[in-house]
Chains A and B, each alone.
Chain A
Amino acid sequence: MSDTTVRTRKTSSWVQNPLVDFCLKQPTGAVALLALLVMLFAGVFAEHIAPYNPITNDLAAMLEPPSAKHILGTDPFGRDIFSRIIYGARTALIIGLSSAFVGCTVGAIIGAASAYFGGKVDNAIQRCIDLMLSFPLIVLALVVVAVLGRAVVFGIDINLILAIAIPIVPQVARVIRSSALVIRNLPYVDAARIAGYSNTRIVLRHMMPNLMAPYLIMLTAYIAQAILLEAVLSFLGLGIAEPTPAWGLMLSGSAADFFDEAPWIVIFPGIAISLAVFAFNLLGDALRDWLDPKFKT
């Protein structure tokens, strides 16, 4: 029995690379990716890039406006703002990436499992999720901070990461659950059940790979949210502690007292936060647009 194959356009293998394909199809996403790579670079090589030490005070150079010596000026303690922003990138990335990753992954597993098992398990998990979703992100984060206090390990505040990750879990769980429910009812999952595969295999091999798209999109969105939340918590004094450079911290405390005289001490850290969150959001949008038509069956 003859069967002609479907004609596929010949493309060079170079373009087949997903990264290149993404950059070509989503130029805004490519720009965002570039910006984030810059941020990553700054965070990793902060010691080599920053002109000054971010922590040492220099009271002789308090509140100096931007000049050739201090590109973005100095803060109330005489510290170079540009250097603090560069080091702050490291803090933001560490906290943002780890809390978003932990929150999204845990949330995705819970959501997928809840959808797959259905019935009473699903109902119970749903109730818990609903309960936790009754509070705004920040309220939950505050509660967790209040409960856990501070636990600094290797210079990183683990509890802060948890405080940001935990409120993310129910939000991600809910979205992944609804996607997973759709997948669960598709015939190929039925086929896997009919073939007698174990539940583990079905969830891991058949459902999870098809949930990658919403997962990745949410991940980028929540990295952005996490950075923002870290800024808010630091601003409130419940996040990163002095003297560690953190963008949110740079906007609070003594900055609040002096910013009317020396606006640069708040303008530049704020721009840094905005740009980072902006870039991650754009990346998430571009990812969603890129993934959507390609894997649409």
Chain B
Amino acid sequence: MTKRRQATEFAGGRDALASATPYGAAPTGAAGPAPALSTDLLLNVEDLHVSFATDIVNVPAVQGLSLQVRPGEIVALVGESGSGKSVSAHAIMRLLPRTGRIPKGRIQFEDRDLLALPEEQMRDVRGREIAMIFQEPMTSLNPVLPIGLQIIEPLQFHLGMSTRDANLRAVELLRMVGISDPEQRLRQYPHQFSGGMRQRVMIAIGLACNPKLIIADEPTTALDVTIQAQILELMKALSRDLGIALIVITHNLGIVARYAHRVVVMYSGRVVEQGEADAVFHRPRHPYTMGLLRSVPRLDRPRSGQLETIEGLPPSATDPLPGCRFAPRCPFRLPVCDTPPPLAPTDAGSLSACIRAADIAAGKLAWRKPAAVAAEAALRQDAAEPALRVRNLTKHFPVKTGLLARTHQVRAVEDVSFTVERGETLGLVGESGCGKSTVGRLILRLDAPTAGSIAFEGRDFAQMSRVELKAMRRKVQAVFQDPYSSLNPRMTIGQIIAEPLQVYGLAPNIAAARERVVSLLNEVGLRPELADRYPHQLSGGQRQRVGIARAIAIEPQFIVCDEAVSALDVSIQGQIVNLLEALQRKRGLAYLFIAHDLAVVRHISSRIVVMYLGRVMETADRDELCERPLHPYTKLLLEAAPIPDPSVEKARAPQLIHGELPSPLAPPSGCVFHTRCPIATSECRVEIPVLREIRPGHSAACIKV
């Protein structure tokens, strides 16, 4: 079809598109009934192999991926880092970097083999028939071009539209993705949009030429959980209404459960299991899938004693094992697993690459349950001063938007109060901009509060003498989010852990220091040989353990865990959480656990504090908060977090938050949440709600409860 004809076809089809469900209408439940799927395959990937050429050797990234997508279907490609899922997507679009090679495979898209197409024809496919959306909305748009230009580019290019027509279509697209005031917004630049809005723009660009397939590579990983829900619902609605097939690449099993029809699970470059979402989630037939499903903490189930985890580390990409890659970590391993396993059909209608799939189906193999732990009641020490008491903590940051401009105040933390008892964990939860990290920094005395008090073991910081403050340093330590930058790259592991011992004189000589280092390494589950390695030689999970060893080296009593597991793979997260809990039991530590993932926070904490835009919204015991939340924001957070169980998700019709996060330079008057609150009324705009106890031990800051 010539470009001109396509353009006019478009004009005719515009009305149909205009009536597509605009954002804001009530979503119709989870994945919904499967669309009337034609049996013709839209995309058929056969035995795809991808490798990267380095100076030394070819590193295999994907080995033997086979994937089918039907029109209108949503397929999820699931895996952790190093699984090859992202590489596969890039390979389908033929967007691999210069070092990428595709030695084997066939990618059949409708009637063409994409790998055999010359580059000009592949360019025609890209952006017109297959579109791609990337992970980082903040950097995926050109900062110096207005977004209108970036949206109409594919329209002019692929469809030959005139600028006027293209602009009209762009307005329509922006409206479809739920951006208000689209005519004005066309002329604006990416930095004037928030993260969620930029991702909507990316979706609009993807939709521009009405593609048949959209590949979304971790589209919501960089977004807050409430925004994530908005974006995913949007994508699902668009897919359903416009009949566009979606390949969603993610590591988040909850998202998969809520949105995908079919699931492909990858591990170390190979497919280990694939099938209908129901089958894979409820009747997994591969140990990795089983382990993955079990290691994700779930909000809808009561908290188990310990997280079940997959032991061991992800495999190295440069030195791939022959045979089943998962074997070293598999509890059901047999000697025969050293030969490459084929992908074979199972009783559940899925495909599994495990030789023992039949045994799993027969129920002969069960995941090892973790050892039961002593009841937690022994933990609470009564009649002792709480480890930490925070009262009316406030922190404002001065910001100058221009040289002669007035200094504005960013109200990062406003009137926050909570208490952490000795030996217990307080979870601090909230989305970006809520101030939770700032609270952590204030407690660690990396910054000074503008107002309010912090008292450690009964003594207020402001009243401590210099000697006491120095002594206090020993008692309060921290574990940070990013395992890659929380260790000094120029020091060995042994030096990093030994340093606090030396500074505080806890080891009289080198031999004693070495001994303590080894015992600390053992305690965090690392082998003593690692003491002579440098951080860049360790994996993320191992580095995080080193960070924990460093923190406990000087025997603190309180540890601030600032997003300590957020940057880790799902299967490693569980290990670290279990480690933290074990250390807490053994040493009587108190934790302030700061995170944005409510499920993990609920697992590890005894009490939870929910923050929004610098203020506390709700405080309660963990089960009470998750089962009977009071504050509308907490309810929305719980709704937004997807649960890794398709049947549960089908039964939910999650309510979505609307609007964007207000700027912390100008927080809303009265209740800071009222601009996005579903039950807000005019009083909410005026009165700042006080945190008051509604039920015993359960406080909320809302005038409506």
Contacts and interface: CB of A to CB of B under 8 A. Distances in A.
Nearest to B472: A196
A195 B312 contact: no
B545 to A, nearest CB: 8
A6 B539 contact: yes
A196 B470 contact: yes
B19 interface: no
A187 B489 contact: no
B525 A210 contact: no
A209 interface: yes
A294 B311 CA distance: 30
Given A6-B316, A194-B446, A196-B503, A188 B527 contact: no
Q: How large is the interface on A (under 10, 10 to 19, 20 to 34, 35 or more residues)?
A: 20 to 34
B311 A193 contact: no
Contacts of B490: 209-210
Contacts of B39: none
Contacts of A58: none
Contacts of B499: 195, 197, 205
Contacts of A206: 488
Contacts of A7: 316, 318-319
Contact of A4 (B312, B445, B503): B312
Interface string B460-481: 0000000000100110111011
Nearest to A196: B473
A187 B484 CA distance: 9
Interface stretch (B280-288, B335-343, B402-410, B528-536): B528-536
A195 B473 contact: yes
B313 A188 contact: no
Contact of A3 (B312, B473, B536, B537): B312
Contacts of A210: 488-490
A195 B486 CA distance: 13
A210 to B, nearest CB: 6
B38 interface: no
A206 B488 CA distance: 7
Interface in A183-229: 186-188, 190-191, 193-197, 201, 205-206, 209-210
A4 B325 CA distance: 14
Nearest to B490: A209
Contacts of A187: 480-482, 485-486
Contacts, number: 85
Q: Is the interface of A mostly helix, strand, loop or mixed?
A: loop
A193 B526 CA distance: 25
Contacts of B579: 1
A8 interface: yes
A295 B490 CA distance: 9
A187 B535 CA distance: 14
A60 to B, nearest CB: 60
Contacts of B313: 3-4, 6
A178 to B, nearest CB: 17
B486 A191 contact: yes
B446 A195 contact: no
Contact of B477 (A8, A195, A209): A195
Interface string A1-40: 1111111110000000000000000000000000000000
B476 A297 contact: no
A8 B539 CA distance: 12
B503 A195 contact: yes
A9 B318 contact: yes
A201 B477 CA distance: 18
A6 B542 contact: yes
A188 B493 CA distance: 13
A195 B535 CA distance: 19
Given A190-B480, A196-B470, A6 B318 contact: no
Interface of B: 311-313, 316, 318-319, 328, 444-446, 470, 473-474, 476-478, 480-482, 484-490, 499-500, 503, 525-527, 529-530, 535-539, 542, 547, 550, 554, 575, 579
Interface of A: 1-9, 186-188, 190-191, 193-197, 201, 205-206, 209-210, 295, 297
30 contacts: A1-B311, A1-B575, A2-B311, A3-B312, A3-B313, A3-B526, A3-B542, A5-B529, A6-B316, A7-B316, A8-B537, A9-B319, A187-B480, A187-B486, A188-B485, A190-B444, A191-B486, A191-B550, A193-B446, A194-B444, A194-B478, A195-B473, A195-B499, A195-B554, A196-B470, A197-B499, A209-B488, A209-B490, A297-B484, A297-B489
In order of increasing CB-CB distance, the 4 nearest A-B pairs are A196-B473, A187-B486, A1-B525, A187-B480
